[in-house]
Chains A and B, each alone.
Chain A
């Protein structure tokens, strides 16, 4: 799948209006709201490219720092303090820096980037992120020739993040990319979504997003970016190395040891919508497949 152009996608307003339009007919026509019947409120056909609603994007999250249920992050992150915020970029770089969130917002213009998110659990969304390429941020520090990998570290604050009071994962959350993956233009520093500030439950104030990898690779609430020579161990690799590899590229041909990755459910499409086939590299193969030429992706999963 190609990058989805904004013009190809129904804007949120019209998208939402569609539902309220159906709803108004429903209320008018009978005492039973037609739109509340799940098999009627979904347009027929493939909606793989339709934007997921703001509500679903912001209430259905995997963010174990705020709890392991999908609704927990929305409930438990309301009072999370994201101001002030500082990010340290360090390691194999010529000019390590500590940069504040304000400075980042001033120095880099965020643009709308509509990407598909595929969770390792087998569901997907289409999200209109606001952000810019990570390569721009990294060019500020001049990585040295020893910088082969990039390690991301999320905030550790069990006072505010009650999920961190339990050893579900080894806190703080850690993720990593190979340097060429990190420098790829699709790898995005996210600062917002739906043209609004990034909500806390989606990783405020700053997260990364790598559209061709399973969602857990895209670390949230980042405080440290370290360029290093050796491959880092991510939190999920540490938790279960047999199940979660360093690359974690979306790949319908390599199953999770316990469940299939061949298909996915699209969030918000309702109960009668079929599963859709998962695409290699989540549909971004044209852009990123060349990063992995000659690699056995079954071995380097």
Chain B
């Protein structure tokens, strides 16, 4: 039974991708399709950040180690959806107009933090293998704590882009803050 867990989560995690792919092919994205793809991939990036950050609290709550074995795959899906999100902006929206893109990154703070978050994901994705874990040893853990910074940058990116109604980004912020506080609290109890 347990051997089916990981493949199941893998295929479940691909559902958003299949859904957006279907919507693109069959023109089901509404009047502003590019914005729709951008928002969709952005939201799923945040959701996968939440899923990934939930694994160790779930382990502690349920006292089951199995959760931790899903963490790497979920983390790589953060990178997958974040990259789709970034490529939508760079390729579809701005059609590789790097002059406009670099100007946006340097002058618009919401784009700057979003881009920074994606750049910070790179070393984590690159060192996700068992081999990297073996070579980096203690450093690996420190490096992968970057995900906490990335999570904060991710929700900040969302908060700064919203015109007025902050309800949705604040829901994400609260969930992520709870997940981060959980770690902080746990470490203190342990000490």
Contact = CB atoms under 8 A, between A and B. Distances in A.
Nearest to A69: B165
A258 B104 CA distance: 9
B31 A59 contact: yes
Contacts of A64: 164-165
Contact of B108 (A37, A260, A263, A267): A260
A60 interface: yes
A38 B27 contact: yes
A1 to B, nearest CB: 22
Interface string A247-278: 00000000100111011010110111011000
**Majority SS of interface residues in chain B?**
helix
Interface stretch (B6-14, B58-66, B87-95, B169-177): B87-95
Contact of B164 (A68, A260, A262): A68
A259 B161 contact: yes
A59 B34 CA distance: 17
B123 to A, nearest CB: 28
B31 A258 contact: no
B161 A258 contact: yes
Contacts of A168: 164-165
B150 to A, nearest CB: 21
Interface string B9-53: 000000000000000111101111111010000000000000000
B95 A274 contact: yes
B25 A37 contact: yes
A265 B30 contact: no
A277 B95 CA distance: 14
A21 B104 CA distance: 40
B31 A56 contact: yes
A260 B34 contact: no
B164 A258 contact: no
Contacts of B164: 64, 68, 168-169, 239-240
A265 B27 contact: no
Contacts of B31: 56, 59-60, 70, 267-268
Contacts of B165: 64, 68, 168
| Range for the number of chain B residues in contact with chain A | 20 to 34
Nearest to A56: B31
B94 A275 contact: yes
Contacts of B160: 258
A41 interface: yes
B93, B100, B163, B165 interface centre (most CB from chain A within 10 Å) = B163
B109 interface: yes
A123 to B, nearest CB: 6
Contacts of A60: 30-32
A271 B33 contact: yes
Interface string A223-265: 0000000000000000110000000000000010011101101
Given A121-B163, A258-B160, 18 more contacts: A37-B25, A38-B27, A38-B33, A41-B27, A68-B164, A123-B32, A169-B164, A239-B164, A255-B107, A255-B108, A258-B161, A263-B100, A265-B35, A265-B93, A271-B24, A272-B92, A274-B95, A275-B94
Interface of B: 24-27, 29-35, 37, 92-95, 100, 103-104, 107-110, 160-161, 163-165
- Which A-B residue pairs are the 3 nearest by beta carbons? A68-B165, A271-B33, A60-B31
16 contacts: A36-B25, A37-B26, A37-B27, A38-B24, A59-B31, A68-B165, A168-B165, A255-B108, A258-B110, A258-B161, A259-B104, A260-B104, A263-B100, A265-B32, A271-B24, A275-B95
Interface of A: 36-38, 41, 56, 59-60, 64, 68, 70, 120-121, 123, 168-169, 239-240, 255, 258-260, 262-263, 265, 267-268, 270-272, 274-275
